[in-house]
Amino acid sequence: MTSKPAKNLDTFPNPFVNRDYHIHMEIPEFTCLCPKTGQPDFATLVLDYIPDKKCVELKSLKLYIWSYRDEGVFHEAVTNKILDDLVAALKPRYIRLIARFYVRGGIFTNVTVDFRKKRWKPKPMVFLQDFDNELNFRK
């Protein structure tokens, strides 16, 4: 069976709905087209979210990201569109998408967008000692 690009995002029930936890994904193969020149644009997408009732299914996310390969779209527009689609599908407690576009015309572009569910308050950040740095310090 051959996979094809698709705009739908499948989800599955959050297995730990009573806990805030962080899901981090890096998608290094995002491509779309420059709407002015038709030349390809390449980016790494960094997705971080705290799910509420749903999590995104990875294969559908891959096919969704692939669906932009032949679309002419500005960096700002595509980053916001992807976030909007993820928010609509997941209704997360919090989500942030960073699109790190590779150089075009001598300029790197990073676009960061986020969404926070109303009335959701994050717990205070806990900072733990960096174990790797501690090991290097002891050498």
Catalytic residues: 34, 41
Tokens in use for 65?
A: 């990201």
C-alpha–C-alpha distance, residues 136 and 28, integer Å: 30
Percent composition of the chain: helix, strand, coil (DSSP 3-state, to 5): 25, 35, 40
